[in-house]
Amino acid sequence: MEGCWNLPSIMIIALRIYLSQENKRRDKLAEANRVASNGVVETVDSDGGKVARIVDNSQFDLGEFDVAFWIRIFGLEL
């Protein structure tokens, strides 16, 4: 029964570590100018074939809702 109480805490810590590393990786790519201004979204049409569309990356931007935003809310240190 104690495992049920500890599991959410462990999952939250693991997710925080993963997202922190992902943000650092993304920031390094941006510093090296390896981030394109557009991306490709693949969808499946009614016939089952894949259709690729080029879209602007700003459509994927979550603005200030990145991990640092949530860490500031909860007062955590990186």
Confidence label for 59 from pLDDT (cuts 50, 70 and 90): low
List of residues 6+ apart from 39 with CB closer than 8 A: 54, 55, 56, 57, 60
Q: Which residue has the tokens 């922190």?
A: 20
* pLDDT reported for residue 37: 66
3-state secondary structure of 53: strand
* pLDDT reported for residue 19: 92
Structure tokens at 52: 């690729």
Q: Is the pLDDT of residue 1 over 80?
A: no
Q: Is the pLDDT of residue 64 over 80?
A: no
Confidence label for 15 from pLDDT (cuts 50, 70 and 90): very high
Summary mean pLDDT of the chain: 77
CA dihedral 26, 31, 37, 38 (to 10 degrees): -30
Nearest to 40 by CA among 58, 49, 52, 48: 52
